[in-house]
Structure 1
Amino acid sequence: MSAKSVAELSRQSKVDGKEYRLLDSHWVTKKQYPLFRMPNEQDYSIGKNSQWFMDMSLLVSYYSALVTSPFDMFWSELLYQASLPLSMKSFLQLCPRDIKSTSIPNDFLSIIKQIYALVLLIHVRASRAHESDDMFLRPFEHRQFLHKNLIFDVPGLIDFAALYGHDSPDLVSDIFKSVFENGSEYIKDSGNIMESAVAALEMVGKRVGEWQFETNHQPVSSDTDAFNTVEKTIEYLADAGKALGVFLALVGQVNSSVAETCLQLNIVPKLANFYNTTIIGIRRHILRNITWTHDQKSDLMSKLATAAAAFLKLVRVGIIEPALVHKIMQLAFDAPDPHRADASAVSSKAESLKKASHLLLALMMEMLNCSEFAIAYASLYHVDDDIILLRETSKSGDLDKQQLDYIQQCFSQLTAESVGRREQAVKVEVAPPSVSALLGDDADAEPQPGPSRPREFLDVKEVCPETNDDLIVRCLDYYKNDSAAVISALLDDNVPPEVMDPDAVKHTASVKENLPLDAFTRTMDLASAAASGVEQLRPGQLWQGKRNADAETQPLSKDDRDRITQLAVSVWDDDDEHSGDFFVQPNTNGLVETIYDGKEWFTTQE
């Protein structure tokens, strides 16, 4: 192997006869690398003659020449070609995260896949400091060149991890190992970028909090721009959570210092608070809107769940596991033999284990301050396993056992309450068998699960989960299955009393019906009923279209029969001829006579 690296070697130029170092801008041909962009409909219509196709084909040729160039020319191009980092960054930022699922014509998709492979090869080659015995870089030179180059700055590496981390995790891990294994500069830069990312997320949360004061974001607004704003916000959060999570997870496999730096900067409590305010705030905003359809809400909620899971994975896999959980396991189970190892080494590892255990315990206590985040975190990751790990690895007296029990009880209680709310809000009902199934020979067929509630009921229940089911049914009947009107009435507390509590209204009506009537009104009502033969209907009694001679019919009282008889007699009376005459009706008991003198009734005692 040569004693000198390519950074120390020089070569004479054939152009001017001067001698230049191998890594120098003199050897770089001035050219402009095209910026990447996704094709549009106009490009599709033109086809291979479009400007996009020509630019991307030129980019493929430039990238191919770079990958196959000699080692010294490759590094000279990386260090001194100003348009190269901008071109590669544009691809990392704009290329779809999942190319296979994109609906792009094959000719255009083929070009994008070629660029995708070439960008990966450029990163792989740049991550290797040694290519041959006489073509190599010293480790410190390699780290210096990587950190100096804009291609390998932390934002670019985050985009690179998001784009290639799923399909080529091993290659990305090797690249990150070369960059982060001994790169203290990158560790500091990563901490600064994470702080900037959290600050950007907090700005998004502040913007989400302002939606409630804007007209187009009100629950009764049907503004399509508001729906698009919510959708784009969720997609942005999902992409940010995935990119940061993949980056930290892959870096954590190589060097846990980045995760430890995030702990020191309180990134976990900040993300937990962001989840508790912004993610939950967006969820409530979606459910509160009464103009979006059920399908629109379901689509938004699905995307929001993906974003929430990405941030939970970012906290757990990207920070807590590499910085604390894996470290505790390694310190506890790979501890040196106290009889053979140096006493100072044993004491140092024991102190590191104690410190990591206390940090994990304190972090779980902080999570409990954000209840929604704690519930979601405990539902995806087993907190009990961390508690057991702390119990097994800590020595007696190192940790407060009562505090461990308290944390475990709190997480269990939060999880149980969450499960109870879900079971109460979403009930799985079994649809009854069809008539054909009942009449068929197969009597043992299993019932098929399915919703037994109409879509309008489900829409109202989704927005108002605490509302009684019977009240929702009554409201839908009253508002003629208009779910928007029902939701508006429930939210405004404007449900009519007869719908809110029909029993109380019926009781009031029955009291009014039982009030005593004056003699004339009772007489006329009873006389009309007797003369017409129409049966008096009662609440709760079915009318079958004919006289109902059931035994429950209440018979007329004696006074009622007397009044009806007297009224029937008075019909045939001519006031002109019989004015002043007396009609005497003997009472059946023989004690009282009822007398009518043409003007009024009165009774006499015998």
Structure 2
Amino acid sequence: MRIHTPYGFHMAPELALSNSGTYYLGFEKKVIFDDTLQKCLDSYLCFAPRRFDELVDAPSTVLHMQERLQRSIFLTFLRISTHKESKDHFITPSVFGEILYDNFLFDIPKLLDLCVLFGKGNGALLQKMIGNVFTQQPNYYTDLDETVPTILQVFSNILNKCGLQQDGSSAEPQKLEEKGRMSPSGMALQELKDVVFYLCDTSTTLWAFLDIFPQASQNFQKHDFLSRLASFYELMIPELESVIKKWTFEESSLQADLWRRLSHARKKMVEISHIIINQTCLQPILENSSDSIQSFVEEFLQIFTSLVQEKRFLRDYDELFPVEDDVSLLQQASSTLDETRTSYILHAIEAAWEGNRRHKIPAVGPASQAADGKCSAAAERHSKSSDRELQASNNHEEENCAGAAAAATFSKKVSGVELDSLITQVKDLLPDLGEGFILACLEEYSYSVEQVINNLLENRLAPSLQKLDRSLPRQVQQEPPTLLSSRANIFQDDEFDVFSKDSVDKSRIWKGRRKGENTKHFLNDKRLIAEQKERYSQYSVVVEEVPVEAGTVQFYKDDYEDEYDDTYDGNQVGANDVDSDDELISRRPFTIPQVLRTKEQEEQNEEQEDEEESEEETTKPDHFVQDPAVLRERAEARRINYYAKKGFRQDNSATVVGNARGQGQSRDTLQERRKKETSKGTRANHNRRSLADRKRNKGMIPS
């Protein structure tokens, strides 16, 4: 149920009846129905200076007023996006979403401008604000889907303005009545400036929005945004770089500013691509289980497979965000990863780096900050709050812009004949310069002869080069030693190394197997004994004779002698009687040792042993027929003993033994007897009982 106010403002009943919410509703009505407030907010978002916009010098009071205005605008939008100020002042989420959407309080262009203006330093608040807007009104996702084709059309318009043709079905053929398309080199300076400014502003705005609200990456990728962006990057960026380098500018500051903006646009387009890939592929792989990530892995492989032709884009992307790390993540997360496709992608990236060396962005130091002073002078005049933080955080993005455009592309290492040729080209035009100074200039400007000559003629060298002596000679580099002179192996400095020694003990060298010494010669060799004797003689612990001085004889006589005492060797120890032969034989019979026996004696002994064993055995009674009862008892005993060893206990509960005749039988006894009578034919008598019953039943045998 809705209540319609006189102003046409739709409110929930609980809000319309609340007297405490008068101020809260007054603000909402002011925002909705005050056209001047809407125009003020929209105009500020459209015309507020961005980070790279040049500002005229203004008094401190004006700058302070601008900071206050910027803060007020941001707080106003933050208040508009809040549907609940307190427990008493609030609007229901559904009604709040309808108010935002129906009255155009927010739209996609406004959200983009908010992100690019207030994103730095206010990321958490902006993220909460934009997330609240999209959550309460999902129709904004539909508007975003309709906005992405417009953004892609912007890129196409830039290409058409520069006379470039984008591949794909989206490219339109040139009409007959149109004039020939102009290349960037034939454009006017103002047109070139507008293109660079427009490209920088567009890429920065898109990056700021996706950085604050990465959930929008899905909407961008629905329209194949990455492929179109990479194709635009491949066509536009090298062309604009070439034009800016070759253009003759009246003011060097303008060339530096254009180069700085183009470098910033390059980096932001690469970061946009990374945000989309991370949000649509990598982040879901990390958050989901291994069973449900196959679609995201396939999406990642499909994206990079479609980008293998864009070598410049791949090289710049891999420099900031190495693709090899992402592939390693996929290999750890998925066990079914297609190694062929990943190898194809990695080889394509390596091919994109051919002829270029991998370049890492250096850390910002005092030298680089000084070199970037001229390029960032305009931006530093921005407001001292948010824009100054933006400038400080992005110093590493700006390359050295002093003089003509510097460090245009990733340079490769030049040496040898090619380096000598470059030095000669500069020296032919400026012969008073030393080769060492020319070499330092070439290294500073990525071995670009044109840039070096231009900066030398206009006296716009980098500060590090201005301090050098212009007649500095080139240092002669010593050639590295050859491999033969720096030989090193397992025989290095051993006793047989002829490369490090002139004399070698040839007695220790022989060919083939060395002939050993015989035993007699080895035993007669007393050199070791002589060496040991000489060694121990130095310690004076072993002497053959001890010299005895006068008066010490009695002392040595009292010493203990450890020689053998043979005093009682002649005495007979034990009994003197001799044992008789009979006693010895009765104790143990004499036997010939086994070693001294002959074969015949061994056979006789074996026969005697067999006879003795047979005599010891008891004679068995020769019964023709033994008593069956005894045999049954023995068999039963063996059977019981056998089952006892096996752990089997016989169950004798089923017995057919009953009471005496005339006393009657129990029911169990009768049942067991009946079972025995029925089943006894299935055992030892081979069914004779059952067959006999069959014959009797047929009448063959009289009963």
Taking structure 2 as the reference length, what is the TM-score of the superposition?
0.47
Secondary structure in structure 1 of the residue aligned to 2:91: coil
By how many angstroms is 1:188 displaced? 1.8
Listed one character per residue, the Cα deviations across residues 422-447 of structure 1 (whole Å, up to 9, x for unaligned) are 12479999x9xxxxxxxxxxxxxxx9
Secondary structure in structure 2 of the residue aligned to 1:418: coil
* 5+ residue gaps, structure 1: 11-17, 25-67, 220-224, 336-348, 432-446, 464-471, 474-480, 483-606
Residue among 40, 46, 67 paired with 1:93: 46
Listed one character per residue, the Cα deviations across residues 83-141 of structure 1 (whole Å, up to 9, x for unaligned) are 32222011011111249984322222222222211111111112211123332111111
Match of 2:316?
376
Note the 1:127-526 alignment, pairs <5 A.
Answer: 127-181=81-135, 183-209=137-163, 218=185, 226-252=188-214, 256=215, 258-289=216-247, 297-317=255-275, 319-331=276-288, 335=289, 350-351=291-292, 353-396=293-336, 399-419=337-357, 422-424=411-413, 451-452=440-441, 461-462=450-451
Q: Count how many residue pairs are aligned between Structure 1 and Structure 2.
A: 370
Structure-2 change in CA distance of 1:422 and 1:98 (3 Å):
closer
Alpha carbons 2:164, 2:183 under 8 Å: kept: no
Which amino acid is the alignment partner of residue 38 of structure 2?
A: P
Which amino acid is the alignment partner of residue 422 of structure 1?
A: S
Which amino acid is the alignment partner of residue 125 of structure 2?
A: L
By how many angstroms is 1:391 displaced? 1.0
Alpha carbons 2:160, 2:181 under 8 Å: kept: no
Which amino acid is the alignment partner of residue 267 of structure 2?
A: A
Structure-2 change in CA distance of 1:409 and 1:79 (3 Å):
same
Alpha carbons 2:9, 2:29 under 8 Å: kept: no
* 5+ residue gaps, structure 2: 13-20, 166-178, 359-409, 424-435, 459-703
Taking structure 1 as the reference length, what is the TM-score of the superposition?
0.54
Mapped partners of 1:85, 1:99: distance in 2: 26
Alpha carbons 2:193, 2:258 under 8 Å: kept: yes
Secondary structure in structure 2 of the residue aligned to 1:151: coil
By how many angstroms is 1:210 displaced? 6.7
Alpha carbons 2:218, 2:280 under 8 Å: kept: yes
Secondary structure in structure 1 of the residue aligned to 2:291: helix
By how many angstroms is 1:300 displaced? 2.8
Alpha carbons 1:238, 1:304 under 8 Å: kept: yes
By how many angstroms is 1:386 displaced? 1.1
Alpha carbons 1:272, 1:373 under 8 Å: kept: yes
Alpha carbons 1:286, 1:297 under 8 Å: kept: yes
Alpha carbons 1:85, 1:150 under 8 Å: kept: no
Aligned pair 1:109/2:63, yes or no? yes
Which amino acid is the alignment partner of residue 350 of structure 1?
A: D
Listed one character per residue, the Cα deviations across residues 240-261 of structure 1 (whole Å, up to 9, x for unaligned) are 1111111012111xxx2x2112
Structure-2 change in CA distance of 1:184 and 1:425 (3 Å):
farther
Mapped partners of 2:54, 2:257: distance in 1: 18
Mapped partners of 2:226, 2:220: distance in 1: 8
Mapped partners of 2:444, 2:206: distance in 1: 39
Mapped partners of 1:403, 1:413: distance in 2: 15
Alpha carbons 1:428, 1:449 under 8 Å: kept: no
Mapped partners of 2:262, 2:7: distance in 1: 60
By how many angstroms is 1:215 displaced? 8.7
By how many angstroms is 1:216 displaced? 10
Structure-2 change in CA distance of 1:218 and 1:264 (3 Å):
closer
Match of 1:492?
none
Structure-2 change in CA distance of 1:456 and 1:413 (3 Å):
closer
Listed one character per residue, the Cα deviations across residues 133-185 of structure 1 (whole Å, up to 9, x for unaligned) are 33211111111212223331010110011000013111111101201235421
Which amino acid is the alignment partner of residue 285 of structure 1?
A: V
Match of 2:594?
none
Structure-2 change in CA distance of 1:172 and 1:20 (3 Å):
closer
By how many angstroms is 1:227 displaced? 2.5
Alpha carbons 1:248, 1:314 under 8 Å: kept: yes
Listed one character per residue, the Cα deviations across residues 359-398 of structure 1 (whole Å, up to 9, x for unaligned) are 11110111212111111111111111110111111132xx
By how many angstroms is 1:285 displaced? 2.3
By how many angstroms is 1:301 displaced? 2.5
Which amino acid is the alignment partner of residue 186 of structure 1?
A: Y
By how many angstroms is 1:287 displaced? 3.2
Which amino acid is the alignment partner of residue 353 of structure 2?
A: T
Match of 1:119?
73
Specify which structure has the bigger relative contact order, considering alpha-carbon pairs within 8 angstroms and separated by 6 or more residues: 2
Structure-2 change in CA distance of 1:428 and 1:23 (3 Å):
farther
Listed one character per residue, the Cα deviations across residues 2-31 of structure 1 (whole Å, up to 9, x for unaligned) are xx9xx7596xxxxxxx8986869xxxxxxx
RMSD of the alignment, in Å?
A: 4.2
More helix by share: 1
Residue among 20, 24, 42 paired with 1:71: 24
Which amino acid is the alignment partner of residue 246 of structure 1?
A: A
Alpha carbons 2:155, 2:232 under 8 Å: kept: yes
Mapped partners of 1:308, 1:99: distance in 2: 14
Structure-2 change in CA distance of 1:461 and 1:183 (3 Å):
same
Alpha carbons 2:94, 2:136 under 8 Å: kept: no
Tell me which structure has the larger Cα radius of gyration.
2
By how many angstroms is 1:289 displaced? 3.6
Structure-2 change in CA distance of 1:187 and 1:20 (3 Å):
closer
Which amino acid is the alignment partner of residue 185 of structure 1?
A: N
Structure-2 change in CA distance of 1:81 and 1:456 (3 Å):
closer
Alpha carbons 1:327, 1:356 under 8 Å: kept: yes
Structure-2 change in CA distance of 1:364 and 1:182 (3 Å):
farther
Which amino acid is the alignment partner of residue 300 of structure 1?
A: L
Secondary structure in structure 2 of the residue aligned to 1:259: helix
Mapped partners of 1:144, 1:422: distance in 2: 55
By how many angstroms is 1:273 displaced? 0.8
Secondary structure in structure 2 of the residue aligned to 1:125: helix
Which amino acid is the alignment partner of residue 49 of structure 2?
A: P
Mapped partners of 1:180, 1:452: distance in 2: 54
Structure-2 change in CA distance of 1:413 and 1:152 (3 Å):
same
Secondary structure in structure 2 of the residue aligned to 1:181: helix
Which amino acid is the alignment partner of residue 266 of structure 1?
A: D
Mapped partners of 1:242, 1:412: distance in 2: 29
Secondary structure in structure 1 of the residue aligned to 2:155: helix
Mapped partners of 1:173, 1:428: distance in 2: 52
